[in-house]
Amino acid sequence: MTVDDTAARIRTTGKPRFVSAQDVAHRAGVSRSAVSRAFTPGASIAEETRKKVIKAAAELGYQVNDLARGLLANHSRLVGIVATKPEVGFRADLTAALAKALIRRGSVPLLINTGETKDELAAAQQTLFGHRAEATIILSGSPPASFVDLARRNGQPLVVIGRSEPETDHVMVDNSAAARLAARLFVARGFTRLGLAGSRSATPSIVEREQAFCDEAARLGARVAVARGTDTDYAGGLAAGRALLAGQPRPRAIFCVNDLVALGVTDAARTDLALAVPGDVAVIGFDDIPQADWLAYRLTTFRQDAELMAGRAVAVLDARQRRPTGPLISERIEARLVVRHSFVPKP
């Protein structure tokens, strides 16, 4: 069979057809089992035969059916990445980094967007567990605990990123340490009227940042005005910023629970009230998304390293698969302060 033969078959039948191992065997003039051995590491096959098979496979565009191999071995190589709104903010960077890390590992990433309705959630669960994923990685945000419970009942290795679930391996950024540092840096510059731009989404990471910032500010004798948008996005930041900056006395510095919120707060200050950032109000964000470095914002923020977190999550997954009954694994990663224009700490 040639490439032209395959194309002709698609045109006449209307059905696409993958090049099969039998097609490769026919072109190479070898048996079907010889093709299988040529693509099986360590299998016994003459070097001349292997070269003929590889040449024929390249000419036809043949790829090994890893899905079929996985089903036969009860090892799918699929790893579910479960997220709510994976396209938003830092989750988009983390999802991309996880996909790359899993592909390097030899796994097949399966992105599961949980959606926001009961029906969407049920469909997401059916997709993940119906495809017999061998492991699951759940991102911070709002994927419900039912995903965690279902993964456990299906015997899947499970890693949770950015949140903590009972009896579950997890990788987290140190939200509390970063938020407390933000409060200390503001107070060290003499700012005692502070603002917190939060979110009513109340995800675990957001709650931890809000609580730590408020607690540290109170310990240092600073006053904190709190405003929350509906979600941790730009629109939520605009709403929180407008609420904070319309009040009196106006906060001199605002800690934002993520960068998208910080961008909204910054635009609320500059556009609505013609305030200068940082001259009239200083702003610190969290995540260090690409937009934080745009010239329009130059946002001081705490960096979450998506590549580092993805690598740690895959390492935890590997460790769990090696020792299914080993002790729980907990990784905590520092969020490093990146100083730009929106706030410069006291030297």
Summarize pLDDT for 7-60 with one digit per residue, the tens: 445 445 455 566 777 888 888 888 888 887 887 777 888 888 888 888 888 888
Q: How far apart are CA 210 and CA 226, in angstroms?
A: 9
Which amino acid appears at position 139 of this protein?
Answer: L
Q: How far apart are CA 79 and CA 106, in angstroms?
A: 10
Report whether pLDDT(263) > 60.
yes
Q: What is the pTM of this model?
A: 0.77
Q: What angle do CA 130, 131, 137 make, to 5 degrees?
A: 100
Q: What is the arithmetic mean of pLDDT over 236-261?
A: 94
Query: What is the pLDDT at residue 142?
Result: 61
Average pLDDT, the chain: 85
Query: What is the pLDDT at residue 37?
Result: 82
Q: How far apart are CA 336 and CA 288, in angstroms?
A: 10
Report whether pLDDT(226) > 70.
yes
